[in-house]
Amino acid sequence: AQSVTQLDSQVPVFEEAPVELRCNYSSSVSVYLFWYVQYPNQGLQLLLKYLSGSTLVKGINGFEAEFNKSQTSFHLRKPSVHISDTAEYFCAVSERTGTASKLTFGTGTRLQVTL
């Protein structure tokens, strides 16, 4: 079984400032890692994913994340945020092995960008 911890339920930040949203996971098997964004009254949209290879992955809208196996972390970063980045962000994992591909999500981090 896997679990995902997003320690920050809310992150307020000023526009054009950098931001980091933290994600730690626990799993007895190797996992794939994802970040999704959810805008109000909408479904989830994939920001980026780590499957293998380079531990630094780049996604849409200028976001990037770094997989750290020793710290079991997959923190999301953006060097300069925009008002339109205000949304809920979810970190998720999925087992690499077998046929199961269900996602296990964290509780989410609300990013609030202000002027």
Partner 1 sequence: DTGVSQDPRHKITKRGQNVTFRCDPISEHNRLYWYRQTLGQGPEFLTYFQNEAQLEKSRLLSDRFSAERPKGSFSTLEIQRTEQGDSAMYLCASSLASGRMNEQFFGPGTRLTVL
Should residue 86 be labelled a site residue for partner 1 when binding is judged by CB under 8 A? no
Q: What's the CA gap between 65 and 83, in Å, rounded?
A: 20
Should residue 1 be labelled a site residue for partner 1 when binding is judged by CB under 8 A? no
Give the closest residue to 36 by CA, choosing from 14, 83, 4.
4
Give the closest residue to 31 by CA, choosing from 57, 11, 2.
2
- Among the listed ranges 55-63, 66-74, 76-84, 86-94, the one in contact with partner 1 (CB under 8 A) is 86-94
Q: What's the CA gap between 48 and 101, in Å, rounded?
A: 17
Of residues 12, 17, 18, 42, which one binds partner 1 by CB under 8 A? 42
Here the tokens at position 12 are 């307020």
Please state the closest distance from residue 66 (CB atom) to partner 1, in A. Answer: 19
Provide the binding-site residues for partner 1, judged by CB under 8 A: 4, 9, 32, 36, 41-46, 49, 51, 90, 92, 94, 96, 99-108
